[in-house]
Amino acid sequence: MTEFDIKREFDLYLENSIKNINQLKNQISKDNIQALVGNMIQCFDKGGKLIFCGNGGSASDCQHLVAEFIGRYKVDRRPLPAIALNSDTSVITALSNDLGYEKVFERQVNALGNSKDVLFAISTSGESINIINAVHAAKKMKILTVGFTKTGNSSLSSLVDILIDVPSNKVNHIQEMHIMIGHFICEIIENHYHDSN
């Protein structure tokens, strides 16, 4: 591939990303985003925490967003409680070995969750069985469930209380939009707690 080809491919990639962002702007449920932010503030104000779970790139998104809530996104404010269930390799390998990988998040939700919490289930396909099992466990515990996935019918989209679905079937673009929405939510939540100090 020539230097010219690389530059052209980069431009095409950016153009596709911009197209996806414009579709996201026009198609995503802004009511769901608003409901999510309101429920997150209630969760924190009642002493609850955010619980994140995901596989692969979505696992990275989980850890990334947890770091933003515990640390800070842009401005100083109190730390906000959040955990990523895909972070503890000892727990993950023990549960995978003893119970099966499909149970790794469900078991942790049962151990760590309570009804004041919010579960973020992130799955580009909406079909990851360990994510679905975690949502079922959370619902039994009266934990609010949030699904980040793609647009269209999926096991996850029909199960969660608040659906954040993005208009793409390409994994890389789904992940790009998920983290963009995650960053937006971080900013709104952070501004709320920074302004209330």
Name the residue range of residue 104's domain. 29-195
Percent of the chain exceeding pLDDT 90 equals 93
> Looking at the domain assignment, is residue 107 inside a domain?
yes
3-state secondary structure of 149: strand
> Looking at the domain assignment, is residue 45 inside a domain?
yes
Q: Which DSSP letter does residue 119 get?
A: E
Strand partners, 120: 52, 146
Res 67 pLDDT > 90: yes
Backbone φ/ψ region at 82: left (φ over 0), alpha (ψ -120 to 50), beta: beta
**Mean pLDDT, all residues of the chain:** 96
Res 85 pLDDT > 90: yes
Distances, alpha carbon 88 to alpha carbons 93, 95, 160, in Å: 9, 11, 25
Q: What is the pLDDT of residue 3?
A: 67
3-state secondary structure of 148: strand
Strand partners, 54: 122
- Structure pTM? 0.94
> Looking at the domain assignment, is residue 5 inside a domain?
no
Q: Are 85 and 59 in contact (CB under 8 A)?
A: no
> Looking at the domain assignment, is residue 9 inside a domain?
no
> Looking at the domain assignment, is residue 179 inside a domain?
yes
Enumerate residues 6+ apart whose C-beta is below 8 A from 57: 124, 171, 175
pLDDT in tens, 96-128: 999 999 999 999 999 999 999 999 999 999 999
pLDDT in tens, 16-60: 999 999 999 999 999 999 999 999 999 999 999 999 999 999 999
> Looking at the domain assignment, is residue 61 inside a domain?
yes
The Cα–Cα gap between 70 and 66 comes to 6
Res 172 pLDDT > 70: yes
Q: Dmax of the chain from CA atoms? A: 57
Q: At 69, which CATH number?
A: 3.40.50.10490
| pLDDT band of 192, cuts 50, 70, 90 | very high
Res 197 pLDDT > 70: no
Q: How many CB atoms lie within 10 A of CB 197?
A: 8
Enumerate residues 6+ apart whose C-beta is below 8 A from 67: none
> Looking at the domain assignment, is residue 148 inside a domain?
yes
> Looking at the domain assignment, is residue 132 inside a domain?
yes
pLDDT in tens, 132-170: 999 999 999 999 999 999 999 999 999 999 999 999 999
How many domains does the chain fold into?
Answer: 1
Query: Cα angle at 32 between 183 and 124, to 5 degrees?
Result: 60
Where do the DSSP E strands lie in 62-192? 82-84, 118-122, 144-150, 162-166
Q: What is the pLDDT of residue 1?
A: 64
The Cα–Cα gap between 44 and 40 comes to 6
